[in-house]
Amino acid sequence: MEKEQKKPKKWKKERKTTVTTTAGELLTFNRTITLSLGDEVLKKYAGECGYTPKRLQAAKKLWEKAEKAYHNQLSKQAEQITATSTYYQLKEKANATYLHIIQTCRLAFAKEPAVQFQLELKGKRKHDHGGWTMQTKYFYDTILSLPGAVAQLAKYNITREDLEAGNRELKEAIAASARKLNAMAEAQMATDSKRRVFKELREWMRDYLRMMQVALKPDPQLKEKLGFIVPMTLE
């Protein structure tokens, strides 16, 4: 029997996509609105479509609002990046100090199981922020108030001042975590605000350009001036 011939695979055509940045959109929209306000012929066509100078000025204000929202989003995102970086740096520093003290405590209280239990010296250290914060805070609160513990630890070259310094590093990390969360919330609010105003601006531009595309059909040069792609005619 003859083998069935396999049908050749149909290659899917790649869809061409155009990536437009937010900054690029702002430039394009501003150019369109500014031209429509400044060019008397375009203004006349726009007016015939119901887009009076007053409506165009309102669009200009909407554009300015969008630009401000965009810049605010960038600013808040930068603050979030800084706050996040600062938090991890402070946490890493505080954790390094904490682990060094823990290791020393295991030597200093090797023969004191009750103290080991109180200070939670055995077992793995927690890594998630909540668990790490609670475990580390409990350790400093306990050792600084445990009778004889500080004196015993001083024999291994860790003083009360060292413990208090480690506790301050912990508190700095906790405060940095709160700032990070606040910066994240503000960045998200700025992003949401920017999305809302850009949605409104895009919808305005979409409707305006649809009307102008029809209105400028008799005048290809004006269409091109406004940003429409006009096919070339070869003579």
The DSSP code sequence of 78-138 is: HHHHHHHHHHHHHHHHHHHHHHHHHHHHHHHTTT-HHHHHHTT-SSPPP-SHHHHHHHHHH
Residue of higher predicted confidence among 2 and 83: 83
Please report, for the chain, the start and end positions of each structural domain, with discontinuous segments joined by +: 23-224
Lowest average pLDDT, out of 104-113, 116-125, 178-187, 210-219, goes to 210-219
pLDDT tens digits along 174-228 = 999 999 999 999 999 999 999 999 999 999 999 998 998 888 888 878 877 777 6
Residue 160 three-state SS: helix
CB atoms within 10 A of CB 75: 13
- Cβ distance 114 to 149 under 8 Å? no
Q: Which pLDDT value is given to residue 189?
A: 98
Residue 144 three-state SS: helix
Share the mean pLDDT of the chain: 88
Q: Using CA atoms, how far apart are residues 206 and 9, in angstroms rounded to an integer?
A: 39
pLDDT tens digits along 127-160 = 899 999 999 999 999 999 999 999 999 999 999 9
pLDDT of 17 strictly over 50: no
**Cα angle: 46, vertex 47, 53; to 5 degrees:** 95
Cα-Cα end-to-end distance for the chain = 60
Q: Which pLDDT value is given to residue 22?
A: 87
pLDDT tens digits along 57-66 = 999 999 999 9
**Amino acid identity, residue 94?**
A
The DSSP code sequence of 58-91 is: HHHHHHHHHHHHHHHHHHHHHHHHHHHHHHHHHH
Residue of higher predicted confidence among 118 and 235: 118
**Cα angle: 85, vertex 89, 92; to 5 degrees:** 135
Structure confidence at residue 6 as a pLDDT band (50, 70, 90) = low
Q: Which pLDDT value is given to residue 14?
A: 44
pLDDT tens digits along 156-173 = 999 999 999 999 999 999
Q: Using CA atoms, how far apart are residues 125 and 102, in angstroms rounded to an integer?
A: 10
